[in-house]
Structure 1
Amino acid sequence: MSFNMYVPTKILFGAGQLNTLHLQEMPGKKAMIVISNGKSTRVNGYLSRTEEQLKSAGVECVVFDKVQPNPLKVTVMDGAGFAKENGCDFIVALGGGSVIDSAKAIAVMAANTGDLWDYIGSGTGKGQPIQNRPLPIIAISTTAGTGSEADAGCVVTNPETNEKVGLKTPLIFPVLCIEDPELMTSVPAGFTAYQGFDALSHSLEGYVSKYANLMSDMYALTAIENVGRHLARAVKNGNDMEAREHIAFGNILSGTVMCVGTTSSQHSLEHALSAYHENLPHGAGLIMLSRSYFGNIIEHHACDDRFVRMARAMGMEDATRPEDFLTVLQKLLEDCGVADLKMSDYGITPDEFSKMADNAMGPMGGLFACDRVSLTKDDVIAIYQKSYK
């Protein structure tokens, strides 16, 4: 039942909250705005609105627009150099999870020497302590997926070593998070499903993790209810503001689950997929794995009552068996149009499963210690095989 809770981020939640940015206390005088290398942030006017808000607050700003869907170490190092060259004293992350994760890592490297992998504690990382406090971060989320806007971690890929790993430290909690569902209405249906399922997965995994506790359970079940019951609506109608608000709320809660509890090895299994195939959206990979991954836990009857409660939270009020969770999960995937996603469409082949299992259990192996059902390499390969299409 015990837990440690430290979530210092100020959160402004609700439609229209971006308009209040200029009223907030700024952590510096010159901001580096981090956005993706796509067009949506500019086309939808989010960048210009953010620049106007910062200008009204008396803040000068420059824009770094190179972040990929799965952020890379080289981009983080480029961003850190950009921040130093322009004399930026804080960072504004404007985008989804990849942008916010990149901004956190950039904030570390803009204030410290060496290479990002010097401070990574797993895989080939050197595990050195962060010497200087990272630049302060304001996170403005345009998606509801990772919860990174209000947690203490980030995930970055090193393509040279095929490692997609996390950096977690209280030093990279954003000082301010703006969760404005109006900024999420422009997300296409498919990506709404992928991102929403990422948010859902954080809480599903957190609820069945052996480190679940009273506080993480409270956040996880509420997140599961909000995302599980509203995601299909947002996928079918991106302008359904009520649905967007509930998913965004669930996303924030799922980020908190990772602060007071933990996810499980499903995230390790997915990171191995997208470490080798950068074009695979993280949420899509989780969708592909989910039925086999959770089905394996159910087969071992490790926490039947928890799966029943999750099924009820997702909308099956009369659930009585753990298998009912798989039924409601399948229905959600079908309602969101993502039940038939194929690994093969992203270039993944079964002959990669052995090295992916090694990758999952190596650089991201720490999450396996959070599982109620211990997985061997053969178990991991079997989950990949059952998930393959």
Structure 2
Amino acid sequence: QMACSNIRYGLGVSKEVGDLANMNAKKVLLVTDTNLEKLPLLQTVKESLDKENINFEVYSKTRVEPNDKSFTDAILFAKKGNFDAYLAVGGGSVIDTCKAANLYACNPDAEFLDFVNAPIGKGKPVKNNLKPLIAVTTTAGTGSETTGVSIFDYSPLNAKTGIASRMLKPTLGVVDPLTLIHLPNRVTCYTGFDVLCHALESLTAIAFNKRFPRPVDPALRPAYQGSNPISDIWSKHALSICKDYFVRAVNSNEDLEARAKMHLASAFAGIGFGNAGVHLCHGMSYPISGMVKNYMSPDYTPEHPLIPHGLSVIITAPAVFRFIASACPERHIEAAELLGADVTGVKKSDAGKVLSDVVLKYMHELQIPNGISAFGYTSSDISALVEGTLPQERVTKLSPRKVDRDSIAQLLEESLTIY
């Protein structure tokens, strides 16, 4: 079942968020973060709302890489405000926080874990429509403006999890390349690698018609369904854009053409993985980022140690694609070619290496740290990282090749250093 978001794209379209007036919005919750609050974009958005005489309140306490506590704070704010529409202006952290606030404000009697993915939460389906939500994405990475997924760190387990339901999809995703001109180098880099992994993982996920058992109720059909002919189109196109524009976008914030193209690639990959899903790179990224010790990335200004999401995802990608290639070698070879590799005469047995090598080429050129050891992890941490990965069944079961405790440990060991 294909579910696509409404996307509005173009230079300056963030001025059109007053369109909420056409959704009968009278009181809007504007969710953003403290950094964006200081930039001209937020003033543009406020002016658009004022022009349509829409009352709004601003919530800017969003946490970079949100957790259950920051989600709960935003949810309580939303419940008290009795809002009839939502507007998210920011990256994935902001948009995901806004989705959660909308969900629980529309289900005021629900406990927090009711909608959280099993086995960490109860995984209950969302059965009611939510309030309108417009998402203005300010990074070319997460694709959250297109998906029904909201990701957060669950503090008790020191691991990421999330909520997945088509009901969470924004009513409208606003993709305005002008929002990217202030995006720093490392943020552009790591969000771009998130795009790359979204496209690669959705393209190489287990096929939709090979997943069992079939849901007894169509309402229980998961948002992440496995690779399928429609998602493949979006994922492949995103990869072809990355080949031409990813490095350029990172190397110059004045290259508006490249950043605009990567903004589209993010949305395209979002539509792809929002229906097909991601698998092992994301599954292992959750404990890698959730168990962070002291790592702080340049160009990020959180008040806490942080491994940015795109960085935690790409760091295991070379090992992952070598491991799963035997399950779908043709897709690995095609993906490598889309990213610029010469695949003339490449054998199926070499599919994993050819894709891994081209991914490593991008990682090296864009100065990705040398494996998870750069984050402070050692072999003694592997066991804990494996335990943090095992509950991520929502994504790990989408791997085209089955994994267990030992194979996850091996992938993490191979990712301690990557060059």
Mapped pair 1:374 → 2:402? yes
Gaps of 5+ in 1: none
Mapped pair 1:312 → 2:337? yes
Give how far 1:134 is off. 2.9
In structure 2, distance between residues paired with 1:105 and 1:246: 29
User: Cα deviations across residues 39-72 of structure 1 (Å, max 9, x unaligned)?
Assistant: 2x12321211111111112211111111112111
User: Cα deviations across residues 154-178 of structure 1 (Å, max 9, x unaligned)?
Assistant: 1122202324112111111111110
Counterpart position of 2:262: 247
Contact 1:311–1:319, Cα closer than 8 Å, also in 2 = no
Aligned partner of 1:359 among 385, 388, 401: 388
User: Cα deviations across residues 189-214 of structure 1 (Å, max 9, x unaligned)?
Assistant: 11111001111101101111112221
Counterpart position of 2:27: 30
Mapped pair 1:11 → 2:7? yes
Counterpart position of 1:302: 327
Contact 1:312–1:319, Cα closer than 8 Å, also in 2 = no
- Between the aligned residues of both structures, percent identity stands at 26
Counterpart position of 2:310: 283
Within a 5 Å distance, the mapping from 1:130-209 to structure 2 comes to: 130=126, 132-209=128-205
In structure 2, distance between residues paired with 1:77 and 1:121: 16
Counterpart position of 2:284: 269
Aligned partner of 1:343 among 372, 376, 382: 372
Within a 5 Å distance, the mapping from 1:221-260 to structure 2 comes to: 221-260=236-275
In structure 1, distance between residues paired with 2:343 and 2:373: 36
Give how far 1:355 is off. 2.1
In structure 1, distance between residues paired with 2:97 and 2:126: 17
Counterpart AA for 1:295: R
Counterpart AA for 2:30: I
TM-score by length of 2: 0.86
Counterpart AA for 1:61: F
Counterpart AA for 2:181: T
In structure 1, distance between residues paired with 2:169 and 2:19: 21
In structure 2, distance between residues paired with 1:239 and 1:66: 29
SS of structure 1 residue aligned to 2:336:
helix
Counterpart AA for 1:369: K
SS of structure 1 residue aligned to 2:60:
strand
Contact 2:280–2:320, Cα closer than 8 Å, also in 1 = no
In structure 2, distance between residues paired with 1:265 and 1:329: 15
Counterpart AA for 2:14: L
TM-score by length of 1: 0.92
Contact 2:17–2:134, Cα closer than 8 Å, also in 1 = no
Number of aligned residue pairs: 379
Change (3 A) 1:320 1:154: farther
User: Cα deviations across residues 99-118 of structure 1 (Å, max 9, x unaligned)?
Assistant: 11111111111122243212
Counterpart position of 2:231: 216
In structure 2, distance between residues paired with 1:386 and 1:276: 18
Counterpart AA for 2:75: A
Contact 1:200–1:228, Cα closer than 8 Å, also in 2 = no
In structure 2, distance between residues paired with 1:345 and 1:91: 39
In structure 2, distance between residues paired with 1:201 and 1:195: 10
SS of structure 2 residue aligned to 1:324:
helix
Within a 5 Å distance, the mapping from 1:112-123 to structure 2 comes to: 112=107, 113-123=109-119
SS of structure 1 residue aligned to 2:170:
coil
Counterpart position of 2:301: none
